[in-house]
Structure 1
Amino acid sequence: MSTTPPAAYRPTDRTVPTRSRERASYDREVVHSVLDAGYVCHLGFVRDGRPVVLPTLYARVGEQVYVHGSTGSRPLRTAGRAEDAGLPVCLTVTHVDGLVLARSAFHHSINYRSAMLHGDAYAVTDHDERTMALDAIVDHIVPGRADDSRRANAKELAKTAVLRLAIEEVSVKTRTGGPGDEPEDLELPYWTGVVPVAPVYGAPVPADDLAPGVEPPGYLPAG
């Protein structure tokens, strides 16, 4: 019998911010939207007693986030199997939506959306799940690309590792709106406002060795 997941994730000590708590959200759709809009996540973990943060590609599939990398990568080597304790990680995805220019240097800021996940990451060893995860990562970058490219062969798969992190302990923090200047600064003669920031996709640039007559697929942005 299937059950509908709650509309929001449960806040924890690690997901409740110490400042600006009103900017935090645990809404499931908001969390998913921030994750789905990104390309690169930052995976944080502890190695030899020191913090390490790695940027890498990822994809969300339901209530799981999959991260891929080389089997020579330290976190991917040390991540536990399902029957083990797993690798404690913190995964973040951040979008910058605007530069907030205030009259005072102190109140300059950015408008942003940021998701932060805590949990234990596990190495994906099942062949079918690994294939699904790698397809999802390719399609997360360009939807439709996984079926329009050669999938990894056995040698390439041997060099590729995949981590799975459940979306359970998570929050999103956002900032929107204009500057928050002090009342005594409102008459200062400095321009103030927001400079919007958004990704721009250019026209596809073909590879130098692309065979003549091969046109860009329809799923690519027109630029």
Structure 2
Amino acid sequence: MNTHPAPSERTRVRRLPARAHYDSETINGIVDAATVCSVAFQWEGSVHALPTIHWREGEHLYIHGAKGSRMLKALTTGQACVTIALADGLVMARSAMHHSMNYRAVVVYGCFEQLDEPDAKLNSLRALIEGIAPGRWEQLRPITGKELNATTVLRIPLTEASAKIRAGGVKDDEEDLGWPVWAGVIPLQTVRGTPVTEPDSVVRDAPADVVNPAAPVV
């Protein structure tokens, strides 16, 4: 049973609260396991929710993009909501009503702040690349000042966040247990496939840190 309280009323899980987790270890683990988040924001009277790559350093979630991005501009002026969802399994029940999914999800509320100091931006972008393939940053052509200036890096604290997790098997009604249909869980996972080398790549063999990184992609 989760003993950590919800950090705010808007993060409190109301539907099936037993699945809620508010501790940073669980939240950070889900943030690290995912590569894409959805960011919801308001812009010129409309509500938008856009997917983007993310990474984590300490107690902050980071995103980046082009300097002229409307999303990044909007995120520095108002509240945002970031969501992450990982599908872990299809739960196949004996009735349509009890079909479900095993999942891990995180919702983050708050305000993004922009990293303006060049070294801070550079170090954060290094963390992004190293998270994808450890050791790759040092192999790359160094980033230029022009490229760094054209890139915006934002971060949001993970202090106002909650996680919700469903794991386990089928939860059918007792009277349906004898129904003659297969019941069980079909696991889902995302794995790295075989690298496809670019025709003009000087190096022909993909390095081990790309083929089999230290951290799995899920």
User: Is 1:140 matched up with 2:131?
Assistant: yes
**Structure 1 residues 9 and 32, CA gap change in structure 2 (3 angstroms):** farther
Is the CA contact (8 Å cut-off) linking 1:24 and 1:172 kept in structure 2? Answer: yes
1:118 to 109, 114, 132: 109
Q: Is the 8 A contact 1:79 1:123 kept in 2?
A: no
Q: CA deviation at 1:48?
A: 2.4
Q: Distance in 2 between matches of 1:75 and 1:201?
A: 29
Identity rate, percent:
38
Measured after TM superposition, the shift of residue 147 of structure 1 is: 2.0
Query: What corresponds to 1:109 in structure 2?
Result: 100
Matches of 1:54 and 1:152 in 2, distance apart? Answer: 26
8 Å contact from structure 1 (residues 102, 192) kept in 2: yes
TM-score normalised to the size of structure 1? 0.87
Output aligned runs, 1:1-223, within 5 Å: 10-80=6-76, 86-211=77-202, 214-222=204-212
Give TM-score scaled by structure 2 length. Answer: 0.89
Following TM superposition, by how much is the alpha carbon of 1:54 offset from its aligned partner in structure 2, in angstroms?
Answer: 1.1
In structure 1, the gaps of 5 or more residues are: 1-6, 81-85
Displacement after TM superposition at 1:10 (Å)? 4.7
- Post-superposition CA distance 1:149-178 (Å, at most 9, x none): 124312222321111101110111000011
Q: How many residues align?
A: 211
| Ranges of 4+ aligned residues in structure 1 off by more than 6 Å | none
The structural deviation recorded for 1:214 is 4.3
Verify the 8 A CA contact 1:178 1:193 in the aligned structure 2: yes
Give, in angstroms, the shift of residue 8 of structure 1. 5.4
